[in-house]
Amino acid sequence: MIAARCPKCNIIGSCICNFGKYELTKEEKDKWDKGVEEMNRQPIQFLNVWKETVNKPTISEFQLSAKEKETVEIYLTKIKKKYGTYGHITYSFTETGIGCCVKIKSSHKNKWKDITDLDRF
């Protein structure tokens, strides 16, 4: 889903170039927010390349627990309230052997927030 791109740097959402203050219109922001909310409801997939798989990429799927989803909603609400947009959202999944640690970060804050549901371990 594409909400809007900066005409100079082609970045979706928040422009990082010196083109000026490129901001989304209200309609674009609503479309962007709807897309982010829809993405957060989907299972998260990533490519997992291990030598044990003879360098054949495999796709792993992670499903956030209800508690983790609630924590994400609170985090994103605070980010949007403070900065006006979600920014670029990055998830980190670390398998530990007994469970999976989950972290989230917005481009507005260069700090990871641990959202791991320890009840799943």
Q: Are 116 and 101 in contact (CB under 8 A)?
A: yes
**pLDDT mean across residues, the chain:** 76
More confident residue, 84 or 51: 84
Going by C-alpha positions, the residue among 106, 107, 108, 96 that lies closest to residue 116 is 96
**pLDDT of 10-36, one tens digit each?**
655 555 565 555 566 788 788 878 877
pLDDT for the residue 48: 52
User: Could you tell me the two tokens for 105?
Assistant: 């970060």
CA 8 to chain centre: 24
pLDDT for the residue 18: 54
pTM of full prediction above 0.75: no
% of the chain exceeding 70 in pLDDT: 64
37 φ, ψ (degrees, to nearest 5) = -65, -40
User: Could you tell me the two tokens for 98?
Assistant: 């007994």
